[in-house]
A and B are shown apart, each in its own frame.
Chain A
């Protein structure tokens, strides 16, 4: 199994509060991704990183920011959480940017915004 951990695994927070989710990998892979999973939508890409301090937006980036100060950690921040951000968040890593390399996923974080 790929060495990917996510913290926290579960979180309940109130509308308007900031929230940071952490993804940590021990594989030394350059590429990291944040997805959210919602019923009827599958997985949708929020942000991704192609190196330390190199990040870009995905399909559903509004309301989210990311940071990557070292290879092993990729942080996802909800600046002011809203109920629409209640979801399961998955981090993924990939060894290469070349098309065809699979992504390996972390265990997920279930976030509830009340």
Chain B
């Protein structure tokens, strides 16, 4: 069975601090993808990034960076120089391969609420 654990329920930081959101996953599949989604206070879910199981290269996008380590089954998300607009709930998710003729599904973690204050 697939499982995603986001042990940090809530994190509070002051603006300009760096913050890392942890994500640990469990799967028996050799091919899988990991995702991060952002849910701002307005409630919509915004796709941020996906990473496949064969690519352990870190990725950076502006102030966002992701560290994928297969050896520890982790896919952590770092925000550098956090801003108030980063305040949101962040979800990590794991895909499973689709059974033939059906659809790939996502297993989500319980989310980490990030509060950035001035």
Residues of chain A at the chain B interface (Cβ within 8 Å): 31, 33, 40-45, 48-50, 56, 58, 88, 90, 92, 94, 96-105, 107-108
Contacts and interface: CB of A to CB of B under 8 A. Distances in A.
Contacts of B93: 43
Contact of A99 (B4, B95, B108): B95
B47 to A, nearest CB: 5
Contacts of B35: 102
B110 interface: yes
B43 interface: yes
A50 B103 contact: yes
A98 B104 contact: yes
Contacts, number: 70
A98 B50 CA distance: 13
Given A104-B47, A107-B43, 13 more contacts: A33-B105, A41-B110, A42-B109, A43-B108, A50-B103, A88-B43, A96-B104, A97-B102, A99-B96, A99-B98, A99-B104, A100-B33, A103-B106
B34 to A, nearest CB: 10
Contacts of B91: 42-43
A90 B102 CA distance: 20
A8 B63 CA distance: 36
B38 to A, nearest CB: 11
Given A45-B106, A88-B43, A99 B111 contact: no
A108 B40 CA distance: 13
Contact of B44 (A42, A43, A105): A105
